[in-house]
Every structure is written in structure tokens, then in C-alpha cells.
Amino acid sequence: MSNWVKAMALSSALVACGAMAGSTDVDAIAGIGREATPNEIKAWDIDVRPDFQGLPPGQGSVEEGESIWLEKCAVCHGDFGDSNEIFSPLVLGNITAEDIETGRVASLTDPGVVRTTLMKVSTVSTLWDYIYRAMPWNAPKSLAPDEVYALVAYLLQLAYVVDYDFSLSDENIEDVQAIMPNRNGVTTDHGLWSVDGETDVMGSDCTSNCVVPLEVTSSIPDYAMNAHGNLKDQMRDYGPFPGIQTAPENAPVDVDVDPVTADRAVPEAALQSNGCLGCHRLDSKLVGPSFAAIAEKYAGQPDAADYLASKIRQGGSGVWGSIAMPPMPQLAPEAVDEITDWLVAR
Amino acid sequence: MSTDNKFSMGHIRPAPESFLDRDLIADVSANGVNSTRRGLLRGALAGALAAVAAQATARPDDPAIVEPAPWSTRLGNPVLTNPYGQPSRFESATIRRQSPGLTQTDEASVSFTPLQSTFGMITPSGLHFERHHQGWVDIDPRQHRLMINGLVDTPMVFTMEDLMRMPSVSRMHFIECGANTALEWGNSAVPTVQYTHGMLSCSEFTGVPLSLLLERAGFDLKRATVLLAEGADGSSMTRTINIENALDDAMVAYGMNGEMLRPEQGYPLRLVVPGAQGVSWVKWLRRIEVGDAPYATKDETIHYVDLMPDGQLRQYTSIQEAKSVITSPSGGQRLMNQGYYNVSGLAWSGRGTVTKVEVSTDGGRHWQTARLEGPVLPKALTRFNFDWTWNGEAALLQSRVTDSTGYIQPSKPELKAVRGTRSIYHNNAIQTWRVMPSGEVENVQLG
């Protein structure tokens, strides 16, 4: 019997004993809180379990998924889900027909292979649930169920689990589960589910003349000591343990605030609430160009504000590279004005 | 061992700044160091060193004592200069930090607690590590709701007013990300304890016992085996929770270290699951579903799964097994001279209470018991201290914890022998800091 099953059996027994009712009788708080309405539950209870409890009906094809993908997902994940720019790759072609046959992705044992989402995921419900609740990155919960079906179908096709003419639906998703490449690749036979679980590793209780390896096999190379910044600045400089000077002496000091732009307040609320900062940084390139670079490029152009406003609303590509900016029609006109005014004034 | 004479074993050298003129300190403090002041500083330092040499015959008076200091000769600041208090301006090194290159975005990222600079068992709220999956949000508590649904008689909705009106409990618990020390499975990768162990904090949490809320909703005792906890942020992060453990000591918390939770820690409501890894402590908690089968959410199927050498992914790994680390001296720090040092660190166990911490200064050949500072609480950080006299030679500092289940923290080779090096999560191996004859301390692994 696995630890998991044991824990499950134990939990029922404990619950029956009323292991912790707190010291307060629940009757004392009988008037606090209210019953949830069916519509409230429907609005929030959106989770989908591996047995597909909670899955809304619908369907979507690989082809439909591809067009939604290119519009809303490729900007971060790449056209084929293989980008490593913003997130770890979703698919890289490390899944074989034999994996699909056995339900174990063999390349997971290969240290040279980058672990992708499709290599690891054992349950197709996980993809559906997560895309529906959390994607896209800058506009979570904006996808309709049919769009989620289509996107899951597209991802599965990228991993060659289904063909390009496939359409995924609530009717056939169980069949897809039966061919998920790593469906047999997970285990719950371990002691880390429960506080009372059994460990699989134990240290030694030896206290003297212990036979232990004493050769230093790994340390931080000198050239990497400053990779996290000057360690001297990361410790108290007056206590018994000052930091090691790892930066060259008299190195230029980083200036966090650009004095030229500091006096013009950053419209943080507008940038944050509209997801702009998911792709743009103030002073460095991320997915898209930095705001500083945009401001510099359009400095002095009389129509800059209008042009930038149209770019925000309609999106575009080619000006700053091949990664497209998706259209942002959801931005309130005031937010667009605030952002463009700030950019032009920088 | 007698400790009567421990302070006489090394020579304690006064810090060089004690030889600086008060006016010069005030000037540098106000205006920074320019070339003139730098020359004065050099001169003062040379004088100080000469003074040390001449110390045997005549100890000079300490200007910090004999010269009037500006703070002793002026009117201080009024109350409410900072309505919400701030640390001293001299403590600017004590901040959370990111590990460069660890994540490509700052919204799905981590900032680490500066463990090298904190004391005792409680982490200041502003230094509590951050781990967000889709950025942090600051939720209007008047608009926040907690729903309990699933296998219950009555699906319920609670406002913050409801929750804060209920009987409350306050407990101190550690929270550690399952990926803490993840960068160190293969090699020494990061230089300081902030980055090796800084996804770790301990706070006093105040809230309502989860068991009480579940009873209020009338959960199905016979069928319920798990809970799903869900956040209100963009990612609406979800995790499957072990109901057995949750009924024991989990709470729905709004308070942290005497104030409301910080937004980065889930304001106004988070789940506290003592002993479990941080990702189970769902922030901005909006819903708990009582269920009879696990949910296989993204953060327990694609991430937070532990890859074993045979290619199997361990799923629903939650508990943080016993672990300890020396926080000072630690990587990136420097011992100034030989003699006495208070070796200090933290120990914790997700399965119970710390019962013993041992310290080795020779890489694990010999171990001595450290002092545990109280209070020693279940599933909380425990501070330990150890007297050490450094003789100026290379040393390998380690700590090893034993918990109330009898579990002993494994060495890196012991852990790797079972779990391999690619598991990412749950690296609780013994940490080694090498002290060089120069006094510099560095992060190393032994093999």
C-alpha cells in the first residue's frame, strides 16, 4: 500500500475522531458567514480535476488553437511553444512515439535534455485548468472554454500527441488522457505528503572520527563571485562578519534612478494594472523594448502621442524585432493617455 | 569546556572607525567621501594602526567616548517623523534580493530573505521572502471574500469582518519554499546564505483555525480526503492540501507579526499550513474546496514535482523535512581576526520540533552540540548558537539538526544517493561553509 493510500485511510479515521475542532464550539459561530449562491459558486469554482469533474462542455480544433496561440500566447512562449525567452519551453520535441505508448517520457532521465511542460505533465486536465484560470499572462481568465480546448489541442499537436486535424472536446478528452506521454510518469509513493510520512533519507548520528568525504569538490569560481553584486554591500559593514569585496575597487556605482526621468512620475498603476510590465521594463529590454528606448526613439516627433496610442490599442510587430505586441483594446482611454503622455514627456 | 576565558583567547581589535574624529564622521556622513576626506580617513587609519602598535605602552583615548558626538549634543527627531517606523539608515544592506538570471520575469520570481543579517527566530515582515507566480496584488479587504464549497452541507461565504470576528489563534511557524536551496543540488552555485537558504522565513501568524471554518460549512467527514486552496490573484494559484494535516493545525491567517499580512504575503488572507512548503500556503486566499480526490494543479503536476533518478516525478510532495544552516559566519563574509566567534544559525522541521543541533568545524569529522535558544516551537525556526575559537586555519563549518521524530539531517552525499541531483525541490542537505586562512568564508560542497 503506498504512503498516499495509507495517508488517505488515516485521514478519514482522524477526521471521524474530530482531531482538531479548535477549542471553540462551532455552534458559537453559527451566525457568522452566509450561504454561497449557485451563481457565486459557478463564478469561482472553475477547477478541473484529473477525472474531469468541473470541465465545462465545449470543443476546439488544433487549427483554431494555432490562430489564438499566435495572437495571444506566442509573444511569450514562441510560435511553437519552444521559446526559452520568458518562460521555460513548453515543447521541444523530446517526446517519442514509444513514450506515448508506454506513458513514460524516457528523456526525463537524460540530464542533457531540457525538461518541458509536455514532458512532465501527466494529466491533460492540468493544462486545461491552468490555461483557463491563469492565461494569458497579462489577461488571466479572458479565454472562453472553446478557446481553451483549442489551445490545449494545439499544444498536444506540437508534442505530436494528436494530429493537426484533431479537435478536442469534453467528449474525447478522456481518450487524450489515455495517450498522454507521461501519464504513468508520476508517483505518490513517498513520505512527503503527510507530516507523519516516512522519510527515504536519513543522516548519520556519528559524532567523532566520522568517516566523511573532506575534499572540496565544488566552490564558486573567482570570476563568478561578483555575479550577485558586491557581497561587501550585502552584509553589515560594522559587525564581526563584514562582506567580502567582490567588485573591482572604485567600480562605478549603479544609479537606480535616472535623474532625467525621475521628475516625471511613472504611471505605475496604469502600467501595472494593464499588464504592461509583463513585457516592458523601464530601462531594460524584456520581451519588448524598454520604455526608455521607446521614449528616446520618438522624442520630439509631433505625432508621437497619437502614434504610440494606436500602437498600444492595435499592437504591432517589426519596429523592435520579430516578437509581436498583442493588441490591448481593453485599456481605458485615460490609461492610454496617461502612458503616452508620460512616454512623450520623458 | 570552560568558557570563562573565551574572550581572552583572541585579541579583539577596535574597529578603525573608532579612531575617526567626530566632526569628520559627521562630515562624511552628510557629504560622502571626497578626495580630501579620503586623505583624512587614510591619515586617521594610519594613526590608528600606529596606535595599535604602540598599544602596549599607552592606549589612546577613544574619541567615540572622549569627543562629544553629534547625537549626544543635539535635539533629536520628534515622534511621528516616520508614522510607520523604518530601519536605521545604516541598515541599508539588510534587504531582500533577487538572484540574477534565476527567472526571466519579475512577476514569476523570487526575492530572498537576508538570513545573514537577521537575529533570533522571527523574520521582520519587510524581509519575508517573496515568491509570486503572476505578480503580487494589493486587495481591498472590503472586497475580499472567502468561499468554502465542495463536499459541505452548506457552501459558505465569509467576509473579512466575519473572519476577524471569529475566535482567533496566534502561532509562530516557519515557511520555506520547496525550491529553497534548489540551485545547490549539483554544485555550489550561489555565494551567500541569502541565496542558498533565503526562501525561508518565520512569523507569528494570527487567524481562524481552518478546522473551525470547515465545521461551520459542515464538511463531509466520510468522503473528504483533500482540500483545494485557491488564490484571488491573476494566477488564482491552486494547491491540493492534505486534510488530515490541515485539520490538525492549519489556519486561515490575516495577521502576521502583530499587523495585517503584507500584500506580498497575501493580504488580506492566506492559508497557513505548518510544516508544508510555501506554495501550499496559498496567498490572497479566496476559496477552499473540500474534495475526495487530488486536483493535479499546475503547481503540483508541472512544477513542484521532484524528479527522481529513475525518471519518475514525485507528486504532492509537501512536507519540509528537518534542515539547518549556519547563518553567521556564512558565505561571502569575512572573519577579521583569530579568536572567539559566536557561530549562529537556524534549524527547523516540518514534522515537529527541533531537539538537537550539532556543529562541526572540520567538515563533519567531529560534532559538538550547539545551544538552542528559546522558544523552541513545533514547525518554527529555532535559533542555535555555538562558541567557536578560530585558530586562523582553514575550517569547514557545518550544522546538523535532529527533530522530534528522530530524523537526522542528511549530508549532501547521503541525500544525493537517494534523490539524485535533479529533483530541484526539497534539498535539505547539510550546508558547508569553508573558512579560509584569510578569514574569507565561501560556499563549498564536499565529495
List chain A residues with CB under 8 Å of B99.
228
Confidence at residue A14, expressed as pLDDT on a 0 to 100 scale: 46
For B437, the 3-state DSSP assignment is coil
Pick the CATH number of B323-444 from 3.40.250.10, 3.40.50.970, 2.60.40.650, 3.90.260.10: 2.60.40.650
Task: Give per-residue pLDDT as tens, B235-271.
Answer: 999 999 999 999 999 999 999 999 999 999 999 999 9
List chain B residues with CB under 8 Å of A40.
147, 157
* B414: closest chain A residue by CA: A203
How many Å lie between the alpha carbon of A302 and the closest alpha carbon of chain B?
34
CB pair distance less than 8 Å for A220 and B189:
yes
Please tell me which residue, B134 or A319, carries the higher pLDDT value: B134
pLDDT of A77 higher than 70: yes
Q: Which of A32, A34, A52, A131 to mutate to test the interface with B (most CBs of B within 10 A)?
A: A32
CB pair distance less than 8 Å for A220 and B410:
no
Chain-centroid distance of CA A151 in Å reads 16
For residues A102-116, give the mean pLDDT.
96
pLDDT of A257 higher than 70: no
Confidence at residue A1, expressed as pLDDT on a 0 to 100 scale: 40
CB pair distance less than 8 Å for B408 and A203:
yes
List chain B residues with CB under 8 Å of A47.
228, 230, 238, 289, 295, 297
How many Å lie between the alpha carbon of B302 and the closest alpha carbon of chain A?
5
Task: Give per-residue pLDDT as tens, A144-194.
Answer: 999 999 999 999 999 999 999 999 999 999 999 999 999 999 999 999 999
How many percent of chain B have pLDDT more than 90? Answer: 86
CB pair distance less than 8 Å for A209 and B365:
yes
- For the four alpha carbons of B368, B373, B376 and B381, in that order, the dihedral sign comes to negative
How many Å lie between the alpha carbon of A75 and the closest alpha carbon of chain B?
14
Q: Pick B411's closest partner by Cβ from A122, A212, A227.
A: A212
pLDDT of A323 higher than 70: no
Name the pLDDT band for A318 (thresholds 50, 70, 90).
low
Confidence at residue A284, expressed as pLDDT on a 0 to 100 scale: 74
How many Å lie between the alpha carbon of B252 and the closest alpha carbon of chain A?
13
Cα B260 to Cα B271: distance, rounded to the nearest angstrom: 14
Confidence at residue A303, expressed as pLDDT on a 0 to 100 scale: 83
Confidence at residue A147, expressed as pLDDT on a 0 to 100 scale: 98
Q: Pick A185's closest partner by Cβ from B155, B187, B313.
A: B313
Nearest one of B119, B94, B126 to B381, comparing CA atoms: B119
Confidence at residue A15, expressed as pLDDT on a 0 to 100 scale: 45
List chain B residues with CB under 8 Å of A103.
none
Q: Which domains does chain A have, with CATH numbers?
A: 59-177 (1.10.760.10), 259-345 (1.10.760.10)
Q: Pick A202's closest partner by Cβ from B106, B341, B407.
A: B407
CB pair distance less than 8 Å for B286 and A197:
no
The answer to whether B343 and B359 have CB atoms below 8 angstroms apart is: yes
For residues B163-171, give the mean pLDDT.
97
CB pair distance less than 8 Å for B154 and A10:
no
Q: Which of B183, B249, B334, B435 to mutate to test the interface with A (most CBs of A within 10 A)?
A: B334
Q: Which of B28, B238, B288, B313 to mutate to test the interface with A (most CBs of A within 10 A)?
A: B313
Q: Which of A77, A118, A226, A235 to mutate to test the interface with B (most CBs of B within 10 A)?
A: A235
Task: Give per-residue pLDDT as tens, B42-60.
Answer: 555 555 555 555 555 689 9
Q: Which of A46, A193, A280 to mutate to test the interface with B (most CBs of B within 10 A)?
A: A193
Confidence at residue A331, expressed as pLDDT on a 0 to 100 scale: 78
Q: C-alpha distances in angstroms, B147 versus A27, A124, B305?
A: 19, 27, 28
Confidence at residue A269, expressed as pLDDT on a 0 to 100 scale: 77
When mean pLDDT is compared across A246-255, A282-291, B424-433, the lowest value belongs to: A246-255
Confidence at residue A283, expressed as pLDDT on a 0 to 100 scale: 79
Domain ranges of chain B: 11-72, 109-314, 323-444
Architecture of domain B109-314: Alpha-Beta Complex (3.90)
pLDDT of A315 higher than 90: no
pLDDT of B8 higher than 50: no
Question: In the numeric block, which cell numbers belong to residue B183?
Answer: 540551485
pLDDT of B28 higher than 80: no
Q: C-alpha distances in angstroms, B269 versus A309, B79, B127, B134?
A: 38, 31, 19, 17
Confidence at residue B196, expressed as pLDDT on a 0 to 100 scale: 98
Amino acid present at B264 = E
pLDDT of B211 higher than 90: yes
CB pair distance less than 8 Å for A278 and B415:
no
How many Å lie between the alpha carbon of A34 and the closest alpha carbon of chain B?
5
pLDDT of B29 higher than 60: no
CB pair distance less than 8 Å for B396 and A244:
no
Cα B372 to Cα A125: distance, rounded to the nearest angstrom: 47
- For the four alpha carbons of A26, A30, A33 and A34, in that order, the dihedral sign comes to positive
CB pair distance less than 8 Å for B242 and A7:
yes
Cα A264 to Cα A247: distance, rounded to the nearest angstrom: 32
Please tell me which residue, B180 or A346, carries the higher pLDDT value: B180
Q: Are strands B395-403 and B432-435 parallel, antiparallel or unpaired?
A: antiparallel
Confidence at residue B53, expressed as pLDDT on a 0 to 100 scale: 56
Confidence at residue B185, expressed as pLDDT on a 0 to 100 scale: 96
How many Å lie between the alpha carbon of A158 and the closest alpha carbon of chain B?
17
C-beta atoms surrounding B103 within 10 Å:
15
Name the pLDDT band for B198 (thresholds 50, 70, 90).
very high
Name the pLDDT band for A345 (thresholds 50, 70, 90).
confident
C-beta atoms surrounding A41 within 10 Å:
16
CB pair distance less than 8 Å for B215 and A234:
no
Q: Pick B244's closest partner by Cβ from A14, A35, A45.
A: A14
Q: Pick B238's closest partner by Cβ from A11, A47, A108.
A: A47
Largest distance between two CA atoms of chain A: 79
pLDDT of B301 higher than 90: yes
